[in-house]
Structure 1
Amino acid sequence: MGSASKQSNKSSSGASGGRPGATDRRARIAELRAEEQRRDRRNKFIAIGAAAVLLAGMVGGGIWIAVDAKQKRDAKIAAAKAPIPGVKTYDKLTRNHVQTKVNYPQVPPVGGDHNPVWLNCTGTVYDQPVVNENAVHSLEHGAVWVTYNGKATPADIKALSDRVKTTPYSLMSPYPTEAGTITLTAWGTQLVLDSASDPRVAEFFTKYVQGPQTQEPGASCSTQ
């Protein structure tokens, strides 16, 4: 009987001793699951926050680009309306295509009949004089033509060529017989200057590169 009692007590003790371990395991599993859920929620919030910051940056960047583009358009419009001191304009210019030489009244010419082929004016700097009739066709497309004679200094020539090279719808060439040191010409429009440092150079480019005088807006300036 004593032996049976001891066996009974041993079995009872072993059975009750297993339950706390199982309970601990279940509690640990529940804790791990709760921690995993908290981590998932935290990662979700982080992802949402990062997406919101990225979206805000994209929206802000888009707004900045739109504002910058509008400011440039407004500046172009304002420049187009503002007169530039010294600019001379000419109207009633003919626009026929001809294969012969043209006797232009202005030097360099500001418009009139011209050759069917235009000069490349994609920011092109020519180191030799060009044909008037081809250059006038480029003016018709909205180009600004920069010319200079022997009185222009090397600094003038470099400053002007640097500007032209970075400006589509412009070209530059020497013009030994012109009266002014530097001449800026657009269709029906001309400005004579003594120096490339004159602030009117920038004003002329802003106003007349593909400006309101352009006879064929959108026409190509490339010969390629």
Structure 2
Amino acid sequence: MTAPTRTERGLHQEQRAQVAALHGELVRYALVTWTAGNVSERVPGEDLFVIKGSGVSYDGLSWEGITVCDLDGTVVDGVRRPSSDTAAHAYVYRHLPAVNGVVHTHSPYATAWSARGEAIPCVLTAMADEFGGPIPVGPFALIGDDSIGQGIVATLAGQRSPAVLMRNHGVFTIGDSARSAVKAAVMCEDVARTVHLARQLGEPLPIAQADIDSLYERYQNVYGQR
């Protein structure tokens, strides 16, 4: 990843504005603190993605706080240095062509599970619906290169979960759009909290795999407006 070009041509301004607005959902659902966390989205039809600038405040975040990068993480347009997680996002986009959105948070309950290096077991119908099983734990990796991205891709291989808990770090979620990745981050924190509370009362009851499969199929293909 290279330094910003410090040029602002306003490339993909509308998409950058939409991604900027989605960061408000991270604040709304208390998934981030101060300037931590980020949302990115692939630019349709181009080998580019847009991502929040490093250390940029959520207050009044506009399209100018979102930087355009290529799939190597090199800045293409924007005056903000991109997120320190840019290399991880770029790795995911390079290796998972169906992924169009990536979100990173340090949401408290889910990150507490990551600090224990423990997957969140699938003991709620809402988990079966959204994640199709447990939320897995990825390996510990330092920030700065694509090591985190490698861990995300390797951990989610063969999984239905759009979320991974990177050990001692936090949550990464993927989706077919930035909005769907944000939804997965919101749901991840919600179930992490509920399962944690359940464990204070005793051992949560497991859901049979056949029922998990049935719930996942219904939610993904029948639930909601089509």
TM-score range, shorter chain: under 0.3
Structure with the higher fraction of residues in helix conformation: 1
| TM-score between the two structures when normalised by the length of structure 2 | 0.26
* Structure of greater Rg: 1
